Amino acid sequence: MAELWELSAAALRAAIGRGEVSCHEVAQAHLDRCAALDPRVRAFVTLTPGTALAQADHWDAARARGEALPPLAGIPIALKDNFCTRGIRTTCSSKILGDWQPPYDATATRLVREAGCVLLGKTNLDEFAMGSSTENSGLFTTRNPWDLDRVPGGSSGGSAAAVAACMSPLATGSDTGGSIRQPAALCGVVGMKPTYGRVSRYGLVAFASSLDQIGPFARSVEDAALLLQALAVPDPLDSTSLPVEAPDYRAALTGDVRGLRIGVPREYFAEGVHETVRTAVRRALDLFCDLGATVEETSTPHAEYGLACYYIIAPAEASSNLARYDGVRYGIRADNARDVIGMFEETRDLGFGDEVKHRIMLGTYALSAGYYDAYYDKALRVRTLVKQDFERCWERYDVLVAPTSPEVAFRIGEKAGDPLAMKLSDICTIPVNMAGNCAISLPCGFQDGLPIGLQIIGKSLDEATVLRAAHAYEQAANWQPRVPSLSP
C-alpha cells in the first residue's frame, strides 16, 4: 500500500470506510509529513496537531460505536489563514492582526468540520489576500514544492503548496482575482473558483466583497468535487449566498464530454502568454476534440480591460473593508501615541505591509470626491461589459477553455521591482471574477519541470459541467497526481 500521505481524499475515504486504516493514523501520517517538509516549504502559518488528532480520535470513536460517518470523516484539510477559526489564531498573514483568535468559526470552517475533515492548520497567504506570489505575506514567503527558489503563486500560495507537497490532500482558498486558480496552476494541483454566491463568505476576512469567493484545492478533480460538495451550502448568515441547492458534483464526473461545446477566447492567447503554455493548452483542446467535444475560437473583447478594471474596484472595496483595523477592536495597537488619531495612524503604519498600504491608497483615491465618476463608476461600467461578453458566449458554448497563468512559476524576487509584471500574473483569471462565473484550473503539462495550468470556465451555477469537463480531460490525459521530488 502507498504511503497514507500519497493517497487522494477519495482513496483515504474508502480506506477509512473499509476499516483498513484509522482516522488517527491518517492524521498522524500527514502531521509527520508537515513536520518533515514544512520547515523548507513554509506553507503553514499555524499547525494544529492537537486539534487534528482530537478530531481524528472523535471519528474513530464514532466508527467504533457503529455510527454513520459524515462524507469526509478523517480526511485532513488545511485552511487559508483568512478563514475565521474559533480559538485558533487567524492572522491573514498580517502583523496588524497579531495573534488574534476569532470568537466564532467561518461558515466554511464549520461546514468542513461537520463534513468530518481533520484540521491540520492554517496556511500562508499574501497579506489580506493581496498579491500573486505569497511574497507579500507579512510573515514569510512560501516556496513552490517543485522548485524551492520559485513562488507558489498567490494569494492562496500556502494552501496550493501544502497540497502539492502532499502535506494535506485538501485545502481551502479564496479567489478574488485568481487567488485559487493561479497558485493551483503554478503548483500543479486542482483549484476551483465557484460561482459568486455558491459558497458562503461569512467569516472569510474580507478583501473585496463583490469579488471574493471561497473554493477548494486538491490533487484531483474528484477530490475537488468532494470538498466543493461540503462547502456549497446556502447560508442565511451571508446576504450574498445564493439560495440554490448544489447538485451531486461527484455524479457529474462521468468522463463523457461528447457534444460538449467549447469556446476558446482568442484574447487569452495574446502577447505575454508564454509559447509553451499556449502549446500545452492547445494540446489539451486537441484531446477534447478526440473525446467528442466541439472546439471553436471565440472572443471576449472586453477581457483586455479586466486588469485595469479590477485594480480600481478591488482596492476601492479593500479601502472600505480595511478601515476597521484601527487598533481599537482587535489586533495590535501602537503604544505611546500622542492622541487617538495618532494611535490610528501609527497602528496602521506599523501593522500593514507595503502592498496593502498601496492598495488602500489607490482605493481611497478612486472613491474620493472628484474622482469617483472618472474611475470607480467607469470601472463598474466596464465590469458590466465583461459580464455581457461571457453571457453572449453562453448562448453558443457550454464552457470556455484558456490558460490559467501566462507563465510557469517565476523565481522569488524576480518581479519584486516590477509591480505591473506581478499584476499581469492574473490577467487570465480576473475576468471570471468580474463576471461572477465559475472556473477551475488543473495541470496540463510541464515547462522545464514546472507545472502548466489549464483553465476551464463555466456559466454561473454550472460547476457540474466544469467539473465534468475537467475530470474527462484528467482521465483521458492519464494525469495521475504527481508529487514533487521533495525528500524529507
> CA 16 to CA 19: how far, in whole Å?
5
Which residues contact residue 286 at a Cβ distance below 8 angstroms, ignoring those fewer than 6 apart? Answer: none
Report which residue type is found at 148: L
144 three-class SS = strand
Cell of 200: 458562503
Catalytic residue numbers? 80, 155, 179
Query: Which residue type occupies 350?
Result: L
Separation between Cα atoms, residue 406 and residue 210, nearest integer Å: 25
Q: Where are the beta strands (DSSP E) in 360-423?
A: 399-403
DSSP lists the bridge partners of residue 456 as: 401, 440
Are the beta carbons of 440 and 448 closer than 8 angstroms?
no
CA distances from 472 to 54, 389, 462, 465, 469 (A): 38, 26, 16, 11, 5
Q: Any bridge partners for residue 104, and if so which? A: none
Helix axes 221-231, 9-17, angle to 10 degrees: 70
Q: Cβ(185)–Cβ(163) under 8 Å?
A: no
**Residue located via cell numbers 470626491:** 369
Q: Which three cell numbers stand for residue 394?
A: 453562453
Secondary structure of 208-271 as H, E, C letters: CCCCCCEEEEECCHHHHHHHHHHHCCCCCCCCCCCCCCCCCCHHHCCCCCCCCEEEEEHHHHCC
Question: 456: how many CB neighbours lie within 10 A of its CB?
Answer: 26
Q: Quick check: 411 and 150 in contact, CB under 8 A?
A: yes
CB 75 within 8 A of CB 13: yes
Smallest CA-to-CA distance from 142 within 132, 151, 131 is with 151
3-state secondary structure of 462: coil
C-alpha cell at 59: 471519528
HEC string of 8-40?
A: CHHHHHHHHHCCCCCHHHHHHHHHHHHHHHHHH
